[in-house]
Structure 1
Amino acid sequence: MLATRYALAGLAALALAGTAQAQEFQPKQKGTLMLNVRATGVLTDADDPILTAAGAATGLNVDVKDDVMPTIGLTYFMTDNIAVEVIAGTTQHEVRAKGPGVDVAVHETWVLPPVVSLQYHFAPAAKVSPYVGAGVNYMIFYSGEDQNGFDVDLDDGFGFALQAGVDVAVKGPWSANVDVKKVFFETDADINNGALKSKVKLDPWVVSAGFGYKF
């Protein structure tokens, strides 16, 4: 599973950082601005029924494929422990209709899901500093391409996110980072001008690993 591979890769990076020879490092503190560059997997949980306009079951479900892309995050420390993070990145996802004997692509879209979160950082002056956070996101679908004669419309909208992660100081302003977010977001999908519809709970896991630099 992609999430497992990312978590293992992140843990390996942290293990290497943690076993490195002790060196001076820049701690997190009030006024610090941290830039994180990460490889990020957006792993959706969508498996929702496709209904007719009258609400009858079609026997088909929505399946949204995962994607992996680079992302960036900016974190500003308002106090030693409390920070605000903004992340940005974009991923491309294929939307399919699945059912007994059916597996067909209906749409492909790019998604821009910026997340703003308020974080609490434990032990900001320590080499290993975990954190938790919560925030909001706005899901934007763009550059959509319909497939196999279908006409699909997806609604943009707000969601909310929970977050957990850890920074491991490496040397000077550099650190290694693993970050996991659970984004809760639901969109209305209209297919063929409303002839078919689905309320799609994307609810993606956003799993990231990378490196940070403190300014």
Structure 2
Amino acid sequence: MRAGSVQAVVREARHCAVVRITHWLTTVSFGGLLVSGFAILLAHPRLYWGETGAVGTDSIIDLPLPFVLTGQSGWGRYLHFLSAWVCVLTGLVYALYGLSSQHFRNDLLPARADLSWTCLSRVVSNHLHLKLATAEAFASYNVLQRFTYLMVVFVLFPLMIWTGLAMSPAITSVFPVLVNLLGGQQSARTIHFVVAGFLVLFLVVHVAMVCAGGFRSRVRAMITGYTTSIKVRA
């Protein structure tokens, strides 16, 4: 540090209130969906393709679980239903905000310069080596993060909602096209399981990157909406 210069703690805005609230509501509801979904799956850990599937029929995926817990799907279905609607309503609020405030356009859509091979390779290399982002880089998402969030928000979560509705007889009796396009209720259940696996993978990588980039500072930013950094001033 040069003589006469001082270090100052700078507080900068990072996440707005809507993003923070919807982030934590989604986190809690997704946790409820995972726990209840696993309880439902334990009652019959086999996946099929088509309209029907039961014990004694051929399955396309037979999960290697060491045990089966029957009678656990009752509370699991209630919690799953409650968590799903919390997640859906939260997602709608986030989507409306993202469209009306240009959040998706400004923060998630990659810029033309981000799509160059040099930029893509550098970002991928940094992620593979768990290199910490600088304070300036933390102020915005890199291209890999943008693509991932776009995939989660506009592909994986909508597909989870679609397949979830397609497994409901009450919904499909009114809108049979939801299940017909997927090939049947068992097909919807299988797709639901696969997409859930991708979301769990996203969650694991997301938490790992948060830890690598500074767990306390990242979580604090998502709670308070601000980041702090030390800058040298003359």
Q: Please, what TM-score do these two structures have when normalized by structure 1?
A: 0.20
Bigger strand share:
1
Give the number of the structure with larger relative contact order, counting CA–CA contacts within 8 Å between residues 6 or more apart. 2
Q: Please, what TM-score do these two structures have when normalized by structure 2?
A: 0.19
